[in-house]
Chain A
Amino acid sequence: QKEVEQDPGPLSVPEGAIVSLNCTYSNSAFQYFMWYRQYSRKGPELLMYTYSSGNKEDGRFTAQVDKSSKYISLFIRDSQPSDSATYLCASSGDAGGTSYGKLTFGQGTILTVHP
């Protein structure tokens, strides 16, 4: 079983919809949680990151971490066709732990936003 699990989808939504992307993780040492976006045939690029539990908002995007349930979420409001991409969650641990300095990625969710 992977340390970070993500539903690969694919997920197809109409333009303007609210999108919810989710991951679960099993390693209690994970403290850093990131979302990367990957367009077709490109390298991933960082979208957002959070440390420990809580919410973080950036424009139409909100990242949420619930450490008690080991659940990571990304919400996209007013989704646009340009949001169509693969979204990857990733986690890493604190200094002193074996997962420090290494990112563990989920499988990625393919999202299509159609006009």
Chain B
Amino acid sequence: NAGVTQTPKFQVLKTGQSMTLQCAQDMNHEYMSWYRQDPGMGLRLIHYSVGAGITDQGEVPNGYNVSRSTTEDFPLRLLSAAPSQTSVYFCASSYGVPLMEQFFGPGTRLTVL
């Protein structure tokens, strides 16, 4: 199993550009989520999904969109990038709730100029 994979590993955007961060898992997990990690802030939940076709907002959803058309994939879209979205983004998946163990991907380091 590859586990949770994320692409790209690094990305530099200009303010106003849009892009999609990809996340895929091959463990047949129902629950997937996106976090951002900033210095001194820990991990903050952006959006999550409890299954294909079902998504909901987390703590910091503004400026981001998600969709879940398959169990395996959970892309995160930045609509119009802003410097405040410079961060490290982690995708995670788990078998179900409650979330005893989430499996995290390696992260995407995003810089918005």
A contacts, CB < 8 Å to B = 2, 4, 6, 8, 31-32, 34, 41-46, 49, 88, 90, 92, 94-95, 100-108
Contact = CB atoms under 8 A, between A and B. Distances in A.
Given A101-B31, A102-B58, A44 B98 contact: no
B2 interface: no
Interface in B37-96: 40-45, 48, 50, 58-59, 90, 92
Contacts of A31: 98
Given A101-B31, A101-B48, A102-B48, A44 B100 contact: no
Contact of A106 (B31, B42, B103): B42
A43 B4 CA distance: 10
B22 interface: no
Contacts of A88: 42-43
B99 interface: yes
24 contacts: A2-B42, A4-B42, A6-B42, A8-B40, A32-B99, A41-B107, A42-B106, A43-B4, A43-B90, A43-B105, A43-B107, A44-B43, A44-B90, A45-B104, A46-B102, A88-B43, A90-B43, A94-B98, A95-B97, A102-B48, A103-B99, A105-B44, A106-B42, A107-B41
B26 interface: no
Sorted nearest first, the 6 A-B pairs with minimum C-beta distance are: A43-B104, A101-B97, A105-B43, A107-B42, A105-B42, A46-B101
Given A45-B103, A49-B101, A101-B50, 14 more contacts: A2-B42, A32-B100, A41-B107, A42-B107, A43-B92, A43-B106, A44-B104, A46-B101, A88-B43, A95-B98, A104-B59, A105-B43, A106-B42, A108-B43
Contact of B102 (A8, A103, A106, A108): A103
A94 B98 CA distance: 7
Interface residues of B, number: 27
A101 B98 contact: yes
